[in-house]
Amino acid sequence: MLAALLSLPFPGLGHAARGHFARGAAWLVVDVAALALFITHPHLWLVGALGARLLSAADAVIARPAQRGPAGGGIVAAAFGVWLGAQVVARLPIMVIAETFKLPSNSMAPTMVLGDHFTVLTTATPARGDIVTFRHRARTFVKRVIGVAGDVVDLYGTTLRLDGKVVSRELATPCTYDDLDLHQVVKKRCVSFEETLGQRRYRVIYDPATAVHLSKKVTVPAGHVYLMGDNRDNSFDSRLMGPIKLSDVTGVAISIWWSAGPNGTLWRRIGTRLR
């Protein structure tokens, strides 16, 4: 039982406690290898990490103690030190090139919703259509890149133009989304468009009750990007804060690895690739 309890949080440590160091090392390698999935397929990493722990615990129980007998407390402590060191070394590159965030609002609905936890690649260069995180007045925001240096962005009503050309979009359809109003979940009506920008095709929404939409025309200066939320009438973005310096952009959002909204866990959103 002790071997199983040790293996659940620390795959391979239960084997070390029973004197099976090579077997424990193999489970450590499996657990560390699962980290490679974190950046591109974080939902699979969750499954892999959980599976490695359960199988490692079961294997530690099945394995008979080594003929030389169970390991002493000092050896188990040393094995834990090796496990911890391997985990730290394996996570260092991931910590350098990727981060995780939780979406604090619905300004990116319907692409991202309140409670989404997502992975960000910090080494990527933002392009038109990408969803990025950035710092503004000591806060982190999540928006979509609409324009890059030299682009003329013109939003008039619900019509978006880039360098004088209307950004391609499909016919509007009615829609709804969940939002918080005084900590209460409320259904809000919206109108949805399918928009295409760069290599990205995504949905944007507008509030049909808004008589005058926030309009803006600006030329993006060098070293900056122009950002807007997909929830166009419910987003604090470049229309109010101006173009954002590239040095303030912290990464490009890749995928949703967990989602827990006001009504509970949104299982269908886990593993969603952001586009």
Mind listing the pLDDT tens digit for each residue in 164-211? 999 998 887 899 888 877 677 788 899 999 999 988 999 999 988 775
How far apart, in whole angstroms, are the C-alpha atoms of residue 191 and residue 211?
13
Name the domain boundary from 68, 97, 126.
97
What is the model's pLDDT at position 26? 83
In a domain, 191, yes or no: yes
Are 146 and 197 in contact by the 8 Å Cβ rule? The answer is: yes
Residue 33 corresponds to which tokens in the numbers above?
A: 């290898």
Kindly state whether residues 63 and 17 are assigned to the same domain: yes
Kindly state whether residues 91 and 111 are assigned to the same domain: no
Residue 141's domain spans which residues? 103-269
pTM flag (> 0.85): no
In a domain, 274, yes or no: no
Kindly state whether residues 245 and 125 are assigned to the same domain: yes
Averaged pLDDT for residues 217-244: 94
Please report the beta strands in 149-270, taking only residues with DSSP state E, as ranges in sequence order.
Answer: 152-156, 159-162, 165-166, 173-181, 184-197, 200-206, 216-219, 224-228, 244-245, 249-261, 264-265
Total structural domains in the chain? 2
Kindly state whether residues 37 and 154 are assigned to the same domain: no
Give the three-class secondary structure for 85: helix
Mean pLDDT lowest for which of 25-34, 51-60, 120-129? 25-34
CATH number at residue 122: 2.10.109.10
Question: Alpha helices, DSSP H only, in the chain?
Answer: 2-7, 13-17, 21-33, 37-40, 42-62, 73-97, 238-241
Kindly state whether residues 142 and 68 are assigned to the same domain: no
Kindly state whether residues 128 and 179 are assigned to the same domain: yes
Kindly state whether residues 63 and 147 are assigned to the same domain: no
How far apart, in whole angstroms, are the C-alpha atoms of residue 227 and residue 249?
11
**Dihedral Cα 237, 239, 241, 246, nearest 10 deg:** 70
